[in-house]
A and B are shown apart, each in its own frame.
Chain A
Amino acid sequence: MAFTGNFMCTSFKQELLQAQHNFTASTGHTFKLAMYDNNASFDASTTDYTATNEVSGTGYSAGGGTLTNVTPTTSGTTALTDFDDLTFSSSTITARGALIYNTTTGGGTGTTDTVVVLDFGSDKSSSAGDFTIVFPTADASNAIIRIA
């Protein structure tokens, strides 16, 4: 049981084709990022957020942090979207990876539909400090979600 890489969830791809996700800034859906220890086992088949193996600690609440959407755009023939960096301030946390999930899929409430699995590569820790998720450059080669 461990993180084994970054994955785009298959259920998310299907839900995209069903117009269930909206990444537009301000008016789009609410996406959250939850963090996990290395006992978690996620891959492309992961469909929903779970509290099992979710990290706990000062400055972190179950369910994780709310992301700020950046309206999708295009670069050449690639469509892409991005989120603002997310910081858990004054926190004491150790995490190995994360899930991004949609809490308002299809315009609903309290949904838990996963989008991507993120593997940090190793345990990352903050101690009475800041724990920041830095999203990649929003371009056709690096953006967090890209459709080429």
Chain B
Amino acid sequence: MMVEGGKISPGIVEVQTTNHRGFTPEEVAERCLSKLLSVSDTAPPAIKEQANAYKDHMRAVLVFYMKEAVKSDRTTVYNALCDAGQKDLAELIRRL
């Protein structure tokens, strides 16, 4: 009697890097989207179109709230620097 299966396999990681900056909300959102939703190449056209429309909507929502998080974190950093007496540095952060 044959026993099916039993293959153990490693996946393939992707490496993303930046130079002299961090990732933008758009770049992070794209990474997030690929974890949340994938659209099969073999899906029927109508399903694919609907899924891609949903993905586009999710992308916009994710980018918006990531930008909100970035702004909010900058406010936290601004206040931490102000509290430490680093007003000039705080102002630089606020203007980013």
Contacts and interface: CB of A to CB of B under 8 A. Distances in A.
A108 B31 CA distance: 34
Contacts of B44: none
Given A129-B18, A130-B18, A137-B34, A116 B10 contact: yes
B7 A148 contact: yes
A75 interface: no
Interface in B1-44: 5-23, 31, 34-35, 38
Nearest to A9: B10
Contacts of B5: 77, 148
B7 A144 contact: no
A146 B15 contact: no
Interface of A: 6-8, 13, 16, 77, 85, 89, 95, 98, 116-118, 120, 124-139, 142-148
21 contacts: A7-B10, A8-B9, A85-B31, A89-B22, A98-B13, A117-B10, A124-B15, A125-B19, A126-B18, A129-B21, A132-B31, A134-B15, A136-B13, A138-B35, A139-B38, A142-B12, A143-B11, A144-B13, A145-B8, A147-B8, A148-B5
Given A136-B12, A136-B14, A143-B11, A130 B6 contact: no
Contact of A135 (B6, B9, B11, B22): B11
A80 B18 CA distance: 30
Given A16-B8, A133-B15, A134-B15, 20 more contacts: A8-B8, A77-B5, A89-B22, A118-B12, A124-B17, A126-B18, A132-B17, A132-B31, A134-B13, A134-B14, A134-B16, A134-B31, A136-B13, A137-B34, A139-B38, A143-B11, A144-B13, A145-B9, A145-B11, A146-B11
